[in-house]
Amino acid sequence: MRVLVTGATGYIGGRLVPRLCEAGHTVRCLARAPLRLQARFDERVEIVEGDVGDAAAVESALKDCHAAYYLVHSMASTRAFAQKDREGAAIFGSAARKAGVQLLVYLGGLGDESSALSPHLRSRHEVGSVLRECGVPVIEFRAAQIIGSGSVSFEMIRYLTERLPVMIAPKWVMTRCQPIGVGDVLQYLVAALAQTRRSCIYEIGGRDVLTYRQMMLRYASLRGLKRLIVVVPLFTPKLSSYWVHLITPIPARLAQPLIKGLTNEVIVHGDASLRAFPDIHPTSFDEALRLALDRSRSGDRESTWFDAFAAYAPRGDFSGIQEGMLIDRRVRAASVPAVRVAQIFSALGGERGWLAANYLWALRGLLDRLIGGVGLRRGRRSATGLRVGDAVDFWRVEAYEPDRLLRLRAEMRLPGRAWLQFEARSGDQARSTLVQTAFFEPRGLWGQLYWYCVAPFHKAVFGSLAERIVRAAEQ
């Protein structure tokens, strides 16, 4: 089929597109910022610029499409998200009818309509109703919390659990929920294209029904963290959103409607989805959590977490946090081909040293030895050659693509896990770009404090290292 995907720059859409291509479909994406997608998807994916609120752009994007995925919402961009989402759904549905689209697929939210739904969940249901009114068959999936690195609701649990050894929690943490792994959600979305062309609503969830408190404690157990959660009735959703804003990178404007939704019990009623999709067997919460926390393995089959970050990363230097990972990224232009830059960073360590602030590297190695770590004593197997699995001082080669990429995983003693990655990207007229990125996944509060304590040294070491690599390549 020829399929249009909206929301491809988002969490679900960005993971759905490669799966649709893998299934043999021709994929077109409608995006307000097409440049963000060109770096992530290959030439099989057609990318057109436009907004779901622009009827002409939507009609043009839907031309010759058999089916379309509606995966957009406005909660992050405006407080009047319900009205904007209604308008967008009406425009999209009308355009789909005019274009002769045979099927619309929409991902909404779980929640019992007989109860008092939060504004966020009520809006999610309303969007499905507006799409159905257009006359095109709609398959609507309703899911509770999606467990996957990058999902806002999952990231809220991650940050709160990692950063707070003792948590004074509002009573919504005792609300029952049926979370579902992102891999299962994507399976349902792809399989929808093979369904009979009639409107259906499917409630989807994982194997386990848990409270949010149980989810946070299971997260802590898997990470080896000791956490105490004390529930008090004093927190209103508004106060909770400010608390989340203070502790996590999630802004209060986005956290507040989400937290209001957490007061609604969201569990699956009936087995309609299991009967309609017998080949999909939802995973347990623990398995979905393990996949979400696995940075190195390709949990979504297209790329590792590091590759996905590279596709979405800002063009220049970056220092901050994304999906629980603390990041220091340096980008430097070089007036030589990429292969020459790669030769320099592939020879770092061992007797050659690290080009910049070698005394600080030696000091870090000594400190590591004093606390029982490997230090710098291992050196490297070869002064010029590398292969995956090689030791390089207190690093281990985790990924290596000659002339292009080197990713080192730290084996020193740390309150978390760390990687140092180098990329040599080809440019025009024998020019190239060095992208050097330090990643740190902190373990608990001590991991967070460690990173910020050594940040001044990182500024001196990593900035100088990137400059020296380029300078050595150009010489």
Q: Bigger pLDDT: 243 or 218?
A: 218
Full domain range(s) for residue 31: 2-147+171-209+251-284
Q: Bigger pLDDT: 191 or 247?
A: 191
User: What is residue 189's predicted lDDT score, i.e. its pLDDT?
Assistant: 97
Cβ-contact 408, 399 below 8 angstroms = no
Helices (H), 248-376: 252-261, 272-276, 285-293, 305-312, 338-345, 358-370
User: What is residue 303's predicted lDDT score, i.e. its pLDDT?
Assistant: 46
Residues 276 and 390 in one domain: no
Question: Which segment of 130-134, 137-141, 148-152 scores lowest on mean pLDDT?
Answer: 148-152
Q: Which tokens sit at 167?
A: 């948590």
Q: Give the β-pairing of 67-70 and 103-109.
A: parallel
**The model scores a pTM over 0.75:** yes
Burial class (CB in 10 A: 0-12, 13-18, 19+), 17: buried
Cβ-contact 127, 111 below 8 angstroms = no
Asked whether residue 306 is assigned to any structural domain, the reply reads no
User: What is residue 305's predicted lDDT score, i.e. its pLDDT?
Assistant: 67
pLDDT by residue (tens digit) across 62-97?
999 999 999 988 665 556 788 899 999 999 999 999
User: What is residue 367's predicted lDDT score, i.e. its pLDDT?
Assistant: 87
Residues 379 and 458 in one domain: yes
Query: Which amino acid belongs to residue 261?
Result: G
Cβ-contact 284, 290 below 8 angstroms = no
Residues 185 and 52 in one domain: yes
Can you list the pairs that 313-320 forms with residues at least 24 positions away whose Cβ atoms lie under 8 Å? 313/437
From the list 35, 34, 37, the residue with the least C-alpha distance to 50 is 34
| Dist. CA 51–CA 54, nearest whole Å | 5
How big is the chain, counted in residues? 475
Confidence class for position 302, pLDDT limits 50, 70, 90 = very low
Q: What is the DSSP string of 124-178?
A: HHHHHHHHHHTSS-EEEEEES-EESTT-HHHHHHHHHHHH-SEEEE-GGGGSEE-
Q: Could you tell me what percent of the chain has a pLDDT over 70?
A: 93
Residues 192 and 336 in one domain: no
Q: What CATH number has the domain bearing residue 200?
A: 3.40.50.720
Does the structure show a pLDDT above 50 at 298? no
Confidence class for position 380, pLDDT limits 50, 70, 90 = confident
pLDDT by residue (tens digit) across 107-131?
999 988 777 888 888 999 999 999 9
Provide the mean pLDDT of the chain: 87
Residues 335 and 263 in one domain: no
Residues 337 and 451 in one domain: yes
Residues 355 and 469 in one domain: yes
Residues 6 and 63 in one domain: yes
Does the structure show a pLDDT above 90 at 456? no
pLDDT by residue (tens digit) across 173-188?
899 999 999 999 999 9
Q: Give the β-pairing of 391-392 and 325-334.
A: unpaired
Does the structure show a pLDDT above 80 at 363? yes
Instruction: Tell me what the mean pLDDT of segment 409-426 comes to.
Output: 92
Q: Which tokens sit at 446?
A: 């001590």
Residues 280 and 318 in one domain: no
Confidence class for position 311, pLDDT limits 50, 70, 90 = low
Cβ-contact 81, 257 below 8 angstroms = yes
Asked whether residue 307 is assigned to any structural domain, the reply reads no
β-partners of residue 227 are none
